[in-house]
Amino acid sequence: MPISQIQLVSSRKQEILQAARRLFSQKGFQNASMRDLAQALDIKPASLYSHYQSKDEILWEIAIRCAREFLETVLPIAHEKTAVQDRLDRMIRAHVEVIIRNLDASAIFFGEWTHLDEPRRSEYADLINRYESAFIEIIQAGMNMGVFRPVKPRFITSMLIAALNWIHQWYRPDGEMTIEDIGNEASRFLLAGLSVSPLSNQ
């Protein structure tokens, strides 16, 4: 296949994914049909099947791309050799930034992925567990060092991530808070509840 045709196919797939992210975010995966997606793209439904065999395949590609961005952005911070407070602070900020960079895809990452067919659903659940485990381990390490209060790390991680994930519901690019503002406030508030000693202003 000529390079120009390869680029055209790649561009069309990107258009499909972008339209699907918006559609699945607005209507939900189960309520959105391939016909809806074709209508949003102003193409015939049959044209979609030349790029993706099913709606599940489209959902999988959107979800896996988003999951990889979270993992590749946040996990390296967890493995650094810096203070646990600093690592958790930066992990929270990085999580916020990925959400805001991927508002439509974030809705899929947080909930719509549960509609994936097996074995993709189980594979994706493993990625979610791997991601959350990084936060659990940081919190446990902070407790072991005496810098974080005694808590149940898994429960606190669920609460922390749930609080951050809500951002995609209300964030607006033209709002009064910048990405940096949101990251700062979220990290300061969440770390204050964990830290044994009062946090200095950041």
pLDDT digits (tens, 9 = 90+) for 6-41: 344 467 888 999 999 889 888 888 899 999 999 999
Give mean pLDDT, residues 60-76. Answer: 91
- Count the Cβ atoms, other than its own, within 10 Å of residue 176: 6
Query: In this structure, what token pair is assigned to residue 9?
Result: 């196919």
> With 0-12 CB in 10 A as exposed, 13-18 as middle and 19+ as buried, what is 148?
buried
How does residue 108 score in pLDDT terms, banded at 50, 70 and 90? confident
Q: What is the mean pLDDT of the chain?
A: 87
CA atoms within 13 A on the CB side of 14: 6
* Contacts (Cβ under 8 Å, ≥6 apart) of 154: 132, 136
The pLDDT of residue 157 is above 90:
yes
pLDDT computed for residue 1 by the predictor: 42
Of 118 and 166, the structure prediction assigns the larger pLDDT to 118
Q: Tell me, what's the pLDDT at 130?
A: 94
Residue 177 identity (one-letter amino acid): M
* CA–CA distance, 156 with 90 (Å, rounded to integer): 17
Which long-range contacts does 81-86 make (Cβ < 8 Å, 24+ apart)?
83/147, 84/138, 84/141, 84/142, 84/145, 84/147, 84/148, 85/142, 85/147, 85/191, 85/195, 85/199
Higher per-residue confidence, 110 vs 151? 151
Give the containing element (helix H, strand E) for 162: helix 153-165
Judge whether residue 2 has pLDDT over 80.
Answer: no
Amino acid at 80: E
